[in-house]
Chains A and B, each alone.
Chain A
Amino acid sequence: MEIPSDLRYTADHEWAKEDQGRVRVGLTDFAQDALGDIVFVDLPAVGSEVAQGGPLGEVESTKSVSQVYAPVSGRVVEVNEALRDAPEDLNAEPYAKGWLCVIEPSERAQFDDLLDAAGYRDLTEA
């Protein structure tokens, strides 16, 4: 299971990456593997305000529906439009082509409180 060391994680299996003050968000390799083949991604609207731990979108696989939660509070400034027609990118490249959205965070400290790679690995191996 791939868990890149330069990312931060939530206990709900989202990853977060700081990029010039903004936070790029996706689902972890562990999450995509557990979901199975992803067939539909419901992305948040650009401009919408999201709260840490609150709903960010939905990911549907052939077997189930899963909520995606915001790792940090803020405003959605970009979404991965390509996932609308190619949700399989989320299975193939969860940390690259399969990113979900970018959030302009309202509280910087929230990012620093997320799990690091070692903490997330402990969680998935528990």
Chain B
Amino acid sequence: MSLRRSPLHSEHEALGAKLVDFGGWEMPLAYRSGTIAEHLACRHAAAAFDVSHLGTVRVTGDPATIFELLQRTLSNDLRKVGPGRAQYTHLLDPSDASVLDDIIVWWVAADRFDVMPNASNTERVLAALDGAGADVTARRAVVAVQGPAARETVTRVSPGAAAVERFHVTEFEFRGVACLAAGTGYTGEDGLECAIPTEPDGVAAEFWRAVVDAGAAPAGLGARDTLRLEAGLPLHGHELGPGITPLQAGLGWVVGWDKEDFRGREALERERSSGGPHRLLGGLVADSRRPPRAESPIVDESGTTLGEVTSGNFSPVLERGIALGFMPPGTREGTRVRIDVRGTELGATTTRPPFHRPRTP
């Protein structure tokens, strides 16, 4: 099967990006400066990511009808927000409340939602919406600009986009073309994500170049992963997926308990009434630079296995190995543990993510 390419593909090639297969897409892993430099650019200034591989499933129609459809399909409660806002939510498996996908919903207007699943889960979300959604992924590029200087950088390209508030969605014009900006991201920093149409041809690439020329460092999936891990954000397929409920992932706030019914509600109620989740996602900071890796067992000082690592890597900010992993719900912050990394014991201390908090503006 051939890999899908972003509308910005030739931009990445021109910048000397190393490309990698991600969810069926050929996307930049890193540019010439490398993952750590890209990570630090995002923490200290601004970085630009091509996230066109995210899906866009567009749901349009009668406002009340499409609102009800999303309310019963997705876990979070849209009544907490409104048109012009963005919301993080889950698609749950009705049988066991496993998180089938984690999603940002852009409530563009009363009669339009742009549902943004993970690349490989777009089909699943389309199926859950029972034919009411249209896959418009190929019709736009999505550029994320993140970091303390992200807004200042985007202001030089489009003041309208840069003005979008956190978890709001706004339309803006770029070269006379209607685009969308959302105050969202996946790095733990302030920033925004912009959807630029692929028609007329070249406008998306022009936007990307303008953002890079304005000073945002191009950053690949490598930095996107180390940034999200440092920010304690879950990645589907690691912290979320088959057998993992939102409650186990510590994301109870994504569950709209006040709604009458939604996919997975019954299974979640069973989990809640049987004493709550049997494991909880927590953080680990290693004693050295060594990155803990997914599936490594976490063992306490008495030799009892507590759980296992779901994601681990090197934290460029802490200069230590860090990880997320499942442990029993009562595990205290500051507990000394050992992580079995391919037969070598790595000492670590439990902590509550995030591992890094951005400076408040």
> Residues on A close to B: CB < 8 A?
36-37, 39-40, 42, 60-63, 65, 84-85, 87-88, 91
Contacts of A91 in B (CB 8 A): 34
- Interface-forming stretch among B112-120, B208-216, B288-296? B288-296
List A contacts of B29 (CB < 8 A).
36, 63
- Any A CB within 8 A of the CB of B226: yes
Rounded to whole Å, the gap between the CB of A77 and the closest CB of chain B is: 23
Say how far B74's CB is from chain A's closest CB, in angstroms. Answer: 32
Give every chain A residue within 8 A of B222 (Cβ-Cβ).
36-37, 62-63
B26, chain A: closest CB distance, angstroms: 16
- Chain B 273-311 per-residue mask, 1 if CB under 8 angstroms from chain A, else 0: 000000000000000111101000000000000000000
**Nearest-CB distance from A80 to chain B (Å)?**
15
Query: B residues within 8 A CB of A84?
Result: 289
Q: Specify which chain A residues have a CB less than 8 angstroms from the CB of B248 in the assembled complex.
A: none
Asked whether, in the complex, the Cβ of A60 is within 8 Å of the Cβ of B30, the reply is: no
Query: Are A42 and B290 touching (Cβ within 8 A)?
Result: yes
| Residues of B with C-beta under 8 A to A85 | 289
Q: Is B153 engaged at the interface, CB distance under 8 Å to the other chain? A: no
**Which residue of chain A has the shortest Cβ distance to B315 in the bound complex?**
A39
Distance A24 CA – B30 CA, assembled complex (angstroms) = 31
B288 surroundings in chain A (CB, below 8 A): 40
- In the complex, whether B254 has a CB less than 8 A from a CB of chain A is no
| Cβ A40 vs Cβ B321 within 8 A | yes
Min distance, Cβ A90 to any Cβ of chain B, angstroms: 12
Q: Which residues of B contact A62 (CB under 8 A)?
A: 35-36, 222, 225-226, 291, 313-314
| A42 contact set on B, CB distance < 8 A | 290, 344
Instruction: State the interface size on chain B (CB cutoff 8 A).
Output: 19
> Which residue of A36, A39, A88 is within 8 Å of B291 (Cβ)?
A39
The reply to whether A60 and B291 contact each other, CB–CB distance below 8 Å, is yes
A-B contact count (CB 8 A): 46
Contacts A39-B289, A40-B289, A40-B314 known; A63 to B35 CB distance under 8 Å?
Answer: yes
Report the minimal beta-carbon distance from B13 to chain A, rounded to whole angstroms: 17
Q: Which residues of B contact A63 (CB under 8 A)?
A: 29, 35, 222
Which residues 214-251 of B sit at the A interface, judged by CB distance below 8 A?
222, 225-226
| Cβ–Cβ contact B293 & A65, under 8 A | yes
CB-defined interface of B24-53 with A at 8 Å, one 1/0 digit per residue?
A: 000001100011100000000000000000
CB distance from A47 to the nearest CB of B (A): 18
Whole-angstrom CA separation of A36 from B222 in the bound complex = 9
Q: Which residue of B lies closest to A91 (CB)?
A: B34
Contact B290 A40 (CB under 8 A): yes
Contact B18 A36 (CB under 8 A): yes
Q: CA A38 – CA B226 in complex, angstroms?
A: 13
Write the nearest CB–CB distance from A27 to chain B, whole angstroms. 16
Cα–Cα distance between A37 and B314 once the two chains are bound (Å): 10
A-B CB contact pairs (8 Å), 22 listed = A36-B30, A36-B34, A36-B35, A37-B34, A37-B36, A39-B314, A40-B289, A40-B290, A40-B291, A40-B314, A40-B321, A42-B344, A60-B314, A62-B36, A62-B222, A62-B225, A62-B291, A62-B313, A63-B222, A65-B342, A84-B289, A87-B289
Chain A residue nearest in CB terms to B293: A65
**Of listed A39, A60, A87, residue having the most chain B CB within 10 A:** A39
Contacts of A39 in B (CB 8 A): 36, 289, 291, 313-314
6 closest Cβ pairs, A-B complex = A39-B314, A62-B35, A37-B36, A37-B34, A37-B35, A40-B289
Shortest CB distance B196–A (Å):
28
B window 311-361: CB within 8 A of A: 313-314, 321, 342, 344
> In the complex, which residues of chain B have a beta carbon less than 8 angstroms from the beta carbon of A61?
35
Question: Contacts of A88 on B, CB cut-off 8 Å?
Answer: 36
